Amino acid sequence: MLNIAVLVSGGGTNLQAILDSEARGENPHGRVTLVVASRPGVYALERAAKAGVESAVVRRKDYATAEEFDDALLETLHSRHIDLVVLAGFLSILGHKVIAAYPDRILNVHPSLIPSFCGEGFYGLRVHEAALERGVKVTGATVHFVNEVCDGGAIIAQKAVEVHEDDTPETLQKRVMVEAEWKLLPAAVASVCEKLDV
């Protein structure tokens, strides 16, 4: 059984999807044992508490350098014997040291069909604004491994979502979450855990 850390920066809806999937018995090879937030007071920390999962806050601005932040994050992960890291709306960039410590063991969910609308600067509503500006008829979500290229790691799974003519960035974001992210991410986490738990 793998110990999973979920890294969050906001409300934690993807975290909730993973916890709900786990509660349904859909990931027999892993369990969320730690939630790390990039700032205090975010609702994701309440979700962790309700699920009885330990949490920690590691804020980038509390450290003078990116290297010190990486060291603090790694210490938090290693001290809890974390095997797999899941980025679920975590807005701090992971440095080389963190990525090197967890090769093919860091997953991220991105709210588009990579390689569309991804890379530096594409996060949150910006992704959906760009999709609507471009006039695409289909968007979706991608779960991928994290490497040192922003949104550049190997793709694990993708799910397409239809774009409606009257969509706003907010309505499209919600549909991508409900129809793609909240299904795709827990399934990908379970699949990776099964492969690693040997």
Q: CB–CB of 86/8 below 8 Å? A: no
3-state DSSP percent of the chain in helix, strand and coil, to 5: 40, 20, 35
At residue 164, the 3 state secondary structure works out as coil
Residue 96 falls in the annotated catalytic set = no
Token pair belonging to 105: 């063991």
Q: Which of 81, 96, 110, 164 is catalytic?
A: 110
Q: Which amino acid is at 132?
A: L
- 84 has which bridge partners? 4
Q: Active-site residue numbers?
A: 110
